[in-house]
């Protein structure tokens, strides 16, 4: 599990629930949602697709957005990603 202490105290500006959706849908919905928020705002993604962990971490790194938090609570994945550009 990867997380930063900063992520625990952040209230997301937008949240999407991709429970029950599988690759590549969580990635597509994340991309669409991140494009809909302003630079500096935070997107929360909730997913249960095991592939989402690698896909969304890679997405954040590749696009230059900041992964603030990743949690895995018994297969329920939670990400906080800050839009940086």
Residues recognised as catalytic: 23
Q: Are 57 and 67 in contact (CB under 8 A)?
A: yes
**CA atoms 26, 29, 33, 35: torsion sign:** positive
Q: Are 85 and 39 in contact (CB under 8 A)?
A: yes
């Amino acid at each position: 599990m990867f997380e930063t202490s900063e992520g625990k105290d952040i209230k997301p500006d937008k949240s999407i629930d991709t429970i029950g959706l599988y690759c590549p849908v969580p990635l597509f919905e994340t991309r669409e949602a991140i494009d809909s928020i302003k630079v500096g705002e935070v997107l929360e993604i909730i997913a249960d697709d095991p592939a989402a962990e690698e896909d969304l971490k890679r997405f954040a790194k590749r696009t230059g957005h900041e992964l603030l938090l990743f949690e895995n609570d018994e297969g329920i994945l939670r990400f906080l990603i800050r839009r940086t550009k």
